[in-house]
Structure 1
Amino acid sequence: MGGMREDIRRGEVAAVRLAGGVSLGDALAVADPGEWLALDAGARMVAWYRAEALPEWECVAPLPADLAGLDESRLALALCHRDGRVRERAVRRSGAYPGLLPLIVIRATDWAQPVREGARELLRAALDVDAAVALAPLILLVGRRERGAFGVDLLGEVLRGVSGERLVPLCTAADRTVRRFAYRLAVEERLLSPAQLARAAARDTDAVVQTLCAEAALKAVPADADDDVLQPLLAARNPRARSAGVTALRRVGRAAEAERFLVDRSAVVRACARYVVRRLGGDPLPLYRGRCSDPGDPALPPGAVIGLAECGERADAGMLWPLLAHPVPAVRARAVAGLRVLDVSDVARLRPLLDDSDPGVVGETAVSLLPSARRLPSEWLMERIGVRWPRHVRTAAFRLLCAGPGIVPLRAAVELLDDADPKLRGRAEQAVRRWHPSADVPRGEAEVAALLDRCERLFDEYVLRRKKWEAGLSHPS
């Protein structure tokens, strides 16, 4: 909400500058779609404390009744005017000013039909390929509005059939909505080669673009897909592109190459690799067992450890237990996760890993021990929420304490209410609010009263009174 107010205030300032004769380029950043929306909103904003009940810019330089003599800056204000009749007249006079086309895009979604229809007619006549590429971010942003579909459809009409080079600015735009639009259009019109699509899937950070381009790249090539398409996908950092490339290996019969992805860091890539290996006559399980057979191997990939659990049997837990002492933290973490996948747990053997130096290992251990939290000694865990322990140890210990019985979660939360760590302190406050006395907490328990009294300075009084009454420590009032 604060950001919206700041945008509108920025638009008010720009409107005042335009009223003073400043050019559009000096009054606002014309390349930023948000600046035009801010100007449109700010030009109509009236402060509640302003006695004259007019936008600030109109107090500086009100518009004349006849708009014929207005320059570009003042005509921009007329296009944003609060009176629809003024906006309608301004639209009719804007055709000679290409710099006002962004405001025509906005007026094409205007609630007033005469304004909207005039703006749409002007926009259809003025929107060529160059203008479409330049205005695409604004058109797509405004396209989210109730009457914004016209502009998006028109944008597609104008850009459909252009060369792939003309779409490059949109395919590399910072706004992911613009990139999605551009790549969908490129795929529909077959404007990019399979190799170009594969490279786009590999480098783009947006999941929708990754999936769209990877699937289109593979669909556009024959069964014997060449390395210009496969290698960018297989080498991609994002798992969506890698998984598409791995799946395509089945079509070309490259099972051996798929085997190296059995130990990928991504679960979806590992699953695709197992599918390919099996469809080409292989069995991934012996391969996993072979990779995990030496618990002291410093080069053991963490993906091999969790991969063994994903397709193994409970008996394979025997290969995972020794890996809890592996020198590589990621291997230890995957070993803990793998035991959980195999539904094998031993509280006594997992408990020491709560003191591990690696946050990933401790986090996986806490998840594995949550179902057995009541079997862990509460005093041992209470010690580990102390300030001398690393933050990841304290966080895991507190999580397990909150899953404990009776008064234990409240006792742990109160210990952290004044903690220097804001995240731990916030979690403690939430835990106090969530806590309710259970059947194993005697009504009238003195310790509960003492703990809740310590909370009073931090919490709403009604919440505390209710909890004390539920615990039999007071009467409702």
Structure 2
Amino acid sequence: MNEDVKGGAVAAGQLARGAALREVVDVGDPGAWLALDEGVRADPWYLPAPYGLPPWETTEEGARLTAALRGAGRFTAALRGGARFGAALRGGGGLTESQLALALCHRDGRVRQRALRQAVGHRELLPLVVVRCADWAEPVREPARGHLSRALDAETAVRLTPLVLRVGRRSRGDFAVALVSEVLCRAPREQFAPLLADTDRAVRRFAYRLAAGQGLLSPAELARAAARDEDAVVQSLCAEAALTALAKGNVEDGDVDDVVGLLVGARSARARSAGVTALRGLGRTERAVGFLTDRSGLVRACARYVVRQLGGDPLAWYRERCADPTDDALPPGAAMGLAECGERADAALLWPLLDHPAARVRAQAVAGLRTLDATDVARMRLLLDDPAPGVVGEATLALLPSAELLPEHWLMERLGTERPRWVRVSAYRLLDARGGAARLRAARRLLGDADERLRSRAELTVGRSLPSS
């Protein structure tokens, strides 16, 4: 039993003893309702209870309630034998909210079915009605669906959406999702808005998908969401919807620049790539050229496509920019962009950039040479002592396939504690790539190292080398 279900079982016991629902269940947390649903039926074998009975049913109150719930007649007649539950009757009319919560989660389907009849009017229990909409038993499932259909309004749909989406992952859970979608499509804008800012990314995805499909948001609002939301799915969904609106001409002339500006100025590469792609339809070559050196490969690729479509030559532009290795204003992405669309002969323009004063330019030049498969081991190994970790990392990746060509003693020197950490990590990766005795000697040297990650990796390597008993 996991911790959530244990918590649900504890809550079930408190409800059976008469505690108020809001005192033991966080009614705003969908996980709390699901935990209660499972906790009521929990049967931990290690607890002192008769086999097959959840702990709450072994209490005097719980046993009396269960017997009452299973009765063939009305709840009220069955409950009159218990003083505690008899006192809870409301004008001779039914169970308390806490008792109904237990009944709605009960392991006996007949009990769940009867509880649904009395749950009408208890809006606080609608989350459990949502859960019962996916019940395996049809006599429970169908009344629950009818009850939810009659009780659901826009405000309640917004409140229940996080739980509905969780239940929607289950078999037979699609009904509640479809019902909530239908209600939300008719909801006023101000009621729907909280879902777009929900902390649960699954809720935001659902809300934005619904909003985009129903045209509830303007292209500018979609572009703003694509630029600001942290979730990649929301970014892509909203960016594509904004682009579709642009393509269909559903944007006022004065708003086109706002939409494109929001997209190309986004931190998300997905949003920027969508914005750059939109520049093609607007015929704005100059603005697309500015993204040929973007930090994202996806955006650079989109920019090259747009420039080509509008009659430009990205490769010539890259070659011209990389031709001067002393250009302090050279964007780092120019070197990688040249490698992405250039030929192996273009490596001649990248080698001089290994001495560029900007570390990011040097790192991108190394990455570009690796992309062009132009690795000169003698020249590249010198970069393992570069003061910039990013350059050392890229040089390591370039040298890994040629690790056996590097002198072992030279690499072992760089394992010394006086070296920067990124240099030591690089040397160990290359020694490890050599395999055989070199790998084992490097690992043994690091067995007592103060760097925990290096030491752990070395211990693992040495452990694997020992013969199995």
Q: Give the TM bin, normalised by the shorter chain.
A: 0.7 to 0.9
Contact 1:180 1:209 in 2 (8 A): yes
Hey, which bits of structure 1, 4+ residues long, moved more than 6 A?
Answer: none
1:203 aligns with 2:228: yes
Q: Tell me the distance in 2 between the aligned counterparts of 1:48 and 1:422.
A: 42
Asked whether 1:182 is paired with 2:179, we answer: no
Separation in structure 1 between the aligned mates of residue 393 and residue 212 of structure 2, nearest angstrom:
42
Q: In terms of mean alpha carbon deviation, does 305-314 or 261-270 score higher?
A: 305-314
Number of the residue aligned with 2:56 = 57
Q: Structure 1 residue 149: deviation in Å?
A: 1.1
Find the counterpart in structure 2 of residue 142 from structure 1.
Answer: 167
Q: Tell me which amino acid in the other structure corresponds to 2:45.
A: W
* Residues 163-172 or 97-106, more deviating: 163-172
TM-score where L is the length of structure 2: 0.88
Structure 1 position 313, deviation (Å)? 2.7
C-alpha spacing 1:17/1:388, structure 2 compared with 1 (3 Å):
farther
Structure 1 residues 210 and 75 mapped into 2: Cα distance closer, same or farther (>3 Å)? same
**Counterpart in the other structure of 2:81:** none
CA deviation vs aligned residue, 1:139-197 (integer Å, no higher than 9, x gap): 00111011211111111222223344332111111122111111111122111111111
C-alpha distance in 2, partners of 1:357/1:21? 68
Question: Which of 23, 30, 34 is matched with 1:33 structurally?
Answer: 30
2:196 to 168, 171, 181: 171
2:15 matches 1:18:
yes
Aligned counterparts of 1:421 and 1:30: Cα–Cα separation in 2 = 47
CA shift in 2, pair 1:123/1:418, >3 Å: farther
Could you say what secondary structure the match of 2:281 adopts? coil
Contact 1:262 1:274 (8 Å CA) reproduced: yes
Structure 2 equivalent of residue 105 of structure 1:
130
After superposition, the Cα gap between the structure-2 partners of 1:385 and 1:42, relative to the gap in structure 1 and judged at 3 Å, is farther
Deviations 1:307-339 (A, max 9, x none): 122122333222222222223221111010011
Opposite residue 248 of structure 1, the aligned amino acid is A
Checking the alignment, whether the CA contact within 8 Å between 1:161 and 1:189 is kept in structure 2 is: no
Give 1:60-459 correspondences, 5 Å limit: 60=59, 61-62=61-62, 63-64=64-65, 65-66=68-69, 67-68=75-76, 69=89, 70-221=95-246, 222=248, 226-432=256-462, 452=466
Q: Structure 1 residue 37: deviation in Å?
A: 0.9
1:465 aligns with 2:464: no
CA RMSD for the aligned pairs?
A: 2.0
Structure 1 residue runs of 5 or longer lacking an equivalent are 436-451, 453-463, 467-477
Alignment deviations for residues 404-427 of structure 1 (CA, whole Å, 9 cap, x no partner)? 143212222233344443432343
The residue identity in structure 1 corresponding to 2:454 is L
Instruction: Report the residue type matching 2:193 in the other structure.
Output: V
Deviates more, 1:360-369 or 1:16-25: 16-25
- Alpha-carbon distance in 2 for matches of 1:73, 1:387: 65
Determine if contact 2:49/2:55 at 8 Å carries over to the other structure: no
Aligned counterpart, 1:444: none
Residues of 2 paired with 1:86 and 1:419: CA distance?
64
Structure 1 pair 341–26 and aligned structure 2 pair: CA distance change class (3 A): same
Contact 2:223 2:263 (C-alpha < 8 Å) held by counterparts: yes
Whole-angstrom CA distance in 1 between matches of 2:392 and 2:322 = 22
* CA distance in structure 1 between the aligned counterparts of 2:29 and 2:287, rounded to whole angstroms: 46
Q: Mean Cα displacement is larger for which, 214-223 or 274-283? A: 214-223
Residues 76-97 of structure 1 deviation map (CA, whole Å, 9 limit, x = unaligned): 1121222222222212211121
User: 3-state DSSP class of the match of 2:370?
Assistant: helix
Deviation at 1:202, TM superposition (A): 0.9
- Following superposition, the deviation at residue 28 of structure 1 comes to 2.1
For 1:73 and 1:181, locate their aligned partners in 2 and report how far apart those are by CA, in whole Å.
Answer: 32
Residues 197-230 of structure 1: CA deviation (Å, up to 9, x unaligned): 1111111122221111111111112567711211
**Kept in 2: contact 1:164–1:192 (CA 8 A):** no
Alignment deviations for residues 273-325 of structure 1 (CA, whole Å, 9 cap, x no partner): 11111111111223223332332333321111211221223332222222222
* Secondary structure, aligned partner of 2:347: helix
Higher mean Cα deviation, 378-387 or 5-14?
378-387
In structure 2, what is the equivalent of residue 472 of structure 1? none
Q: Percent identity?
A: 61
Distance, in Å, in 2 between the alignment partners of 1:258 and 1:184 is 29
The amino acid across from 1:298 in the alignment is: D
**TM-score between the two structures when normalised by the length of structure 1:** 0.86
- SS of equivalent residue, structure 1 residue 465: coil
Aligned residues: 436
User: Residues 97-119 of structure 1: CA distance to partner in whole angstroms, max 9, x if unpaired?
Assistant: 10001111111112222222221
Once structures 1 and 2 are overlaid, which stretch shifts more, 417-426 or 80-89? 417-426
C-alpha separation in 2, matches of 1:234 and 1:364 = 28
Structure 2 residues not aligned, in runs of 5+:
70-74, 77-88, 90-94
Query: How far apart, CA to CA, are the structure 1 residues paired with 2:242 and 2:461?
Result: 50
**Worse-matched range after superposition: 22-31 or 157-166:** 157-166
1:432 is displaced (CA, Å) by 4.3
Aligned equivalent of 1:446: none
- State the alpha-carbon separation in 2 of the partners of residues 211 and 47 from structure 1: 45
Structure 1 residues 296 and 251: alpha-carbon distance in aligned structure 2, compared to 1, 3 A threshold: same
Q: Which residue is equivalent to 2:83?
A: none
Q: In structure 1, how many angstroms separate the alpha carbons of the residues matched to 2:369 and 2:337?
A: 11
SS of the residue corresponding to residue 114 of structure 2 reads helix
1:134: Cα distance to partner?
A: 0.6
